[in-house]
Amino acid sequence: MYLLTENKMMDNIAIFCSASGNIDPVFVEKARELGTWMGQNKKTLVYGGANVGLMECVAKAAKDSGSEIIGVVPTRLEERGRVSDLPDVIFRTDNLSDRKDIMLNESDVAIALPGGVGTLDEVFHVMAAATLEYHCKKVILYNINGFWNGIIDFLDGLERQHFAHHPLNRHFAVANDLEELIELLK
């Protein structure tokens, strides 16, 4: 069995997600629900540090419920006044590549909530590094309302067409609801 991490408790959880505030309210509700669970279970949130969208939503719920918050903030976010005041610890980075590396280093597992191109970049960064054995962490696609179905189908197609050298499900998992997500984190 391929573990999410190297037999380590998954206390530091990276969250990749949308910075958009103009999304279906169900995504906001599920982000808030996840943040609340994290706080109640003393999990540390590692996230992009923005004060908008699902990022601020999950961070506020986690903080209000008792989580420590680590924000990883690129300079462009600071320049635009988009840094949340919720993080207990802030890592400042020059660019998005450094941001992804720090988030990966500071976390035991990553969860991808619905998001855009930046979220996709983060998901594939974690998976690509795992395929080269830089780490053995998985990313969990939180498949709220089937959001990740197209990507899951695409990844299955990579395997069927032999563009993936190893089973890709060694590097990602899918949770369709909070109960499945919590089970994967155990």
CATH of the domain at 22: 3.40.50.450
Q: What is the pLDDT of residue 8?
A: 54
Determine, yes or no, domain membership for 64.
Answer: yes
What are 12's strand-pairing partners?
44
Q: What is the pLDDT of residue 1?
A: 25
Q: What's the CA gap between 63 and 50, in Å, rounded?
A: 14
Determine, yes or no, domain membership for 113.
Answer: yes
Determine, yes or no, domain membership for 174.
Answer: yes
What are 172's strand-pairing partners?
139
151: three-class secondary structure by DSSP: helix
Q: What is the pTM of this model?
A: 0.92
Per-residue pLDDT of the chain (186 residues; tens, 9 = 90+): 233 444 456 899 999 999 998 999 999 999 999 999 999 999 999 999 999 999 999 999 999 999 999 999 999 989 998 999 999 999 999 999 999 999 999 999 999 999 999 999 999 999 999 988 899 899 999 999 999 999 999 999 999 999 987 788 889 999 999 999 999 998
Q: Tell me if 62 sits within 8 A of 92, measured CB to CB.
A: no
Distance between alpha carbon 47 and the CA centroid of its chain, in Å?
7
In which domain, by residue range, is 181 found?
12-185
Q: What's the CA gap between 94 and 3, in Å, rounded?
A: 32
Q: What's the CA gap between 142 and 156, in Å, rounded?
A: 17
Q: What is the pLDDT of residue 166?
A: 74
108: three-class secondary structure by DSSP: coil
Cα dihedral across residues 75, 76, 80, 85: positive or negative? negative
Q: What's the CA gap between 82 and 76, in Å, rounded?
A: 9
Determine, yes or no, domain membership for 166.
Answer: yes
Among residues 150, 149, 138, which one has the least CA distance to residue 111? Answer: 138
Q: Which single residue is written with the structure tokens 């706080």? A: 39
Determine, yes or no, domain membership for 7.
Answer: no
Q: What is the pLDDT of residue 133?
A: 87
Rg over CA atoms, the chain: 15
Q: What is the pLDDT of residue 10?
A: 83
Determine, yes or no, domain membership for 2.
Answer: no
- Torsion (CA) 141, 100, 19, 69 in degrees, nearest 10: 90
Determine, yes or no, domain membership for 5.
Answer: no
Number of domains in the chain: 1
Q: Which single residue is written with the structure tokens 């984190």? A: 185
